[in-house]
Amino acid sequence: MSHSHRISRRQFIRTGAAAAASLAIVPRHVLGGQGTLAPSDTLTKAVIGVGGMGRGHLGYPGAVLRAVCDVDRGHLASAMEIAGPGVAGYADFRDVLARPDIDIIHIATPPHWHALISIAAAEAGKDIWCEKPMTRTIAEGRAVVEAVKRNGRIFRVNTWFRFEDRFYGFGTDVRPIKKAVQNGLLGWPLKATVSATTGFDWKFYWIGLTSQRPEPVPPELDYDFWLGPAPYKPYHPHRVHGTFRGYWDYDGGGLGDMGMHYLDPVQYILDKDGTSPVEVWADCPQQHPDACGTWRRIEMKYADGCVIVLDGENRDKNAPFLEGPKGKLFRGFESDIPNLRETLASLPDPEPQTTDFAEAVRTRRRFALNERNGHRSCTLVNLAKIAVQLGRTLHYDPEREIFPGDEAANRLIDQPMRAPWHL
């Protein structure tokens, strides 16, 4: 499992993916020594996990691609094809981290690997661009925050609505909404409803299969490594590529997939980057212990009375996106506040955010969506997942980050990993 094999692209193309198993394993000392350090103004990167989302990361601007890594030789081969010459391929992410000439590690593996690779990358002195959801459990999130902080790394989560991109359904970025809230136009506390009515459609279900007949592992996939910290379960194609989101072991259904996209900007608007809800409630069908199912509604309440509603069925047809005692904001930036736009314009803007990752890496400034607020918004996702799995109202202590007196819920905060992996 932990051979350090580096596969040269030429070899790969010559032999083809099917024959890749017979490739020579190049011993570490052949590669070893000092790599070529990049000129100070050119950042370099590697992408770990080059299946679905990882493909996109190959071309993200800001840094030069030097290496790709995947436990599926098929994925690796086609990523190397796309990447072109000069990009090395690896099967073990630790070999990528060992390369001194790479600055940034993109993590586009399934979520059950995000924390371990983030921590290892931080401890190897790399900066990190991690796919959403940031981590699969709350404890993993905490560990990533610590590791990034201790090692002085720059970290970002790959979701955008907090600082750019049009905020679904509002025809604007998030700034004016934040501005309205921060200048008290809506009053306090606020209720945010996330549904198709308000512009976010929870249409990504990602349902797992509840009964599977095991199948032989395809020769190109190192399934044991793919599972890594996750409990061993017999292989079935639905568990891996493209459909892994349907299983609690690796992700958390539509919540895992889209949750951070939708919830991170809400957390920012509500000014909750430093805390978490105290009460979480879910209405959903009973969940299978392995396969994620659907849910109808989730409500999360903060200590100050702010509430986030995840309306999965789009039941509140007239729900505003934001509702406070003094006013409401609806889809399309409609509002019951007269002359909202005019009033807003003259008010002070929210503090500017650092939104260029390469710039953040060069200047060592914290990125707008970093490990800390990212951990909090991923906690929203993870709290919702736990409420859905347990089907009871949860009480959360946002300081200690535990559920006081709820042992079963606490066991979902920090889930043991399969050896040798651990936080």
Partner 1 sequence: MKRVLAVVFAIAVLAGPFLAEDLKPRVSSILERFPAETAAVRDGLCAEILKLGPQGVGEICSRLLPPGGGNDSRARFAANGLAVYVTRPGAENERALFIRALLASLAGSRDKSVASFLLSQIQVAGRTESVKPVARYLADETLAGPAAAALLSIGGPEAARAFLKSLDTAPRGARLTVVKSLGDLRARDALKKLLALAEGGDEGLRRAALSALANIGDPAAGPVLSKVRVAVSFRERAQAPSLYLLFARRLVETGRTAQGLDAARAVLASYGRPEESHFASEALALIVSALKGKALPDLLRAADSPDRGFRAAALELALSIPGSEATAHWVEKASGSGPDVRADIVGMLGRRGDAAALPFVRESLLSRDKLVRLAAIPAAARLGGEAVFPDIVKLVGAAGEEEMPALRAALLGYRGTLVVPECVRILDSTPLPGKAVLIDVLGEKGAREEIDRVFVLVQDPEPAVRSAAVGALANLAGEKDLPRLVALLEKASDGDDVLSLQEAIVSAVRRNPDLMKRADALLELLKNAPPTRKIAILRVLPRVGGTKPLQAAVEEDRSADVQVQSVAVYALSQWPDYQAAAELLRIVTTTKTRKHLLLAVEGYVRIIARANLPNGKKLALLRDLLALPMDEADRKPVLAGIAAVREPESLRLLAGYLENPVLGGTAAAGLLDLASEQAPQERWLSGHETYTVLRRLQTALPDPAEKEKVDKVILERLRQGGFVPLFDGRGLDGWKGLVADPPGRAKMTPAELAKAQAEADERMSAHWRVVDGALVFDGKGESLCAAADYADFELLVDWKIEKGGDSGIYLRGSPQVQIWDAAINPAGSGGLYNNQKGRSLPLEKADRPVGEWNTFRILMIGERVTVYLNDRLVVDNTVLENYWERDKPIYPSGQVELQAHGNPLYFRNVFIREIPRDTIVPEPTEAEAADGFAPLFNGRDLEGWTGDTKGYAAESGKIVIHPELGSGNLYTVREYADFVLRFEFKLTPAANNGLGVRAPLEGDAAYAGMELQILEDGSPVYWGLEPYQYHGSIYGVVPARRGALKPVGEWNTEEVTVRGRRVAVVVNGTTVVDADIDAGGTVDGRDHPGLKRESGHIGFLGHGSIVEFRRIRLKEL
Q: Which of residues 8-37 bind partner 1 (CB under 8 A)?
A: 28, 32, 37
Taking CB under 8 A as the criterion, the residue among 84, 274, 365, 397 binding partner 1 is 365
- Pairing of the two strands 44-48 and 104-107: parallel
Applying the rule CB under 8 A, the residues between 242 and 261 that interact with partner 1 are 242-243
Q: Is 9 exposed, middle or buried (0-12, 13-18, 19+ CB in 10 A)?
A: buried
Q: Which long-range contacts (CB under 8 A, 24 or more apart) does 55-61 make?
A: 55/79, 55/82, 56/108, 57/106, 57/108, 57/129, 57/131, 57/158, 58/82, 58/83, 60/106, 60/129, 61/358
193 lies in the site for partner 1, by CB under 8 A? no
CB of 85 to partner 1, least distance (A): 25
Q: Give 1-44 as a DSSP string.
A: -----EE-HHHHHHHTGGGGGGPPPPPHHHH-SPPPPPPTT--E
CB of 7 to partner 1, least distance (A): 18
Stretch that binds partner 1, among 16-24, 134-142, 323-331, 339-347 (CB under 8 A): 339-347
Residue 194 token pair? 């996330």
Per-residue DSSP letter, 285: P
**Cβ atoms within 10 A of the Cβ of 205, count?**
15
Closer by beta carbon to partner 1, 61 or else 405: 405
Q: Which of 389, 368, 383, 398 is nearest to 158 (CA)?
A: 368
231 lies in the site for partner 1, by CB under 8 A? yes
CB of 348 to partner 1, least distance (A): 5
Applying the rule CB under 8 A, the residues between 32 and 71 that interact with partner 1 are 32, 37
Stretch that binds partner 1, among 43-51, 53-61, 72-80, 278-286 (CB under 8 A): 278-286
Stretch that binds partner 1, among 61-69, 70-78, 298-306, 342-350 (CB under 8 A): 342-350
Applying the rule CB under 8 A, the residues between 92 and 151 that interact with partner 1 are 94, 98, 100, 122-125, 149-151
> Which residues in 272-284 are b (16+ Cβ under 10 Å) and which e?
bbebbbebbbbeb
Stretch that binds partner 1, among 73-81, 161-169, 199-207, 376-384 (CB under 8 A): 199-207
- Pairing of the two strands 322-324 and 327-330: antiparallel
Q: Is 31 exposed, middle or buried (0-12, 13-18, 19+ CB in 10 A)?
A: middle
Taking CB under 8 A as the criterion, the residue among 18, 232, 274, 336 binding partner 1 is 232
Closer by beta carbon to partner 1, 205 or else 223: 205
Alpha-carbon distance of 108 to 227, in angstroms, equals 15
Taking CB under 8 A as the criterion, the residue among 61, 85, 351, 400 binding partner 1 is 351
Q: Which of 377, 393, 386 is nearest to 141 (CA)?
A: 377
Closer by beta carbon to partner 1, 206 or else 302: 206
Closer by beta carbon to partner 1, 31 or else 189: 31
Taking CB under 8 A as the criterion, the residue among 214, 219, 274, 305 binding partner 1 is 214
210 lies in the site for partner 1, by CB under 8 A? yes
How many residues bind to partner 1 according to rule CB under 8 A?
74
CB of 18 to partner 1, least distance (A): 15
CB of 13 to partner 1, least distance (A): 21
Alpha-carbon distance of 141 to 255, in angstroms, equals 16
Q: How many residues does the chain have?
A: 423
Residue keyed to tokens 């299969």: 209
**Cβ atoms within 10 A of the Cβ of 88, count?**
21
- Pairing of the two strands 394-395 and 279-283: antiparallel
CB of 125 to partner 1, least distance (A): 4
Answer yes or no: are the C-beta atoms of 6 and 95 closer than 8 Å. yes
Stretch that binds partner 1, among 58-66, 160-168, 286-294, 318-326 (CB under 8 A): 286-294
Longest CA span, the chain: 71
Stretch that binds partner 1, among 5-13, 156-164, 318-326, 337-345 (CB under 8 A): 337-345
152 lies in the site for partner 1, by CB under 8 A? yes
Closer by beta carbon to partner 1, 305 or else 359: 359
373 lies in the site for partner 1, by CB under 8 A? no
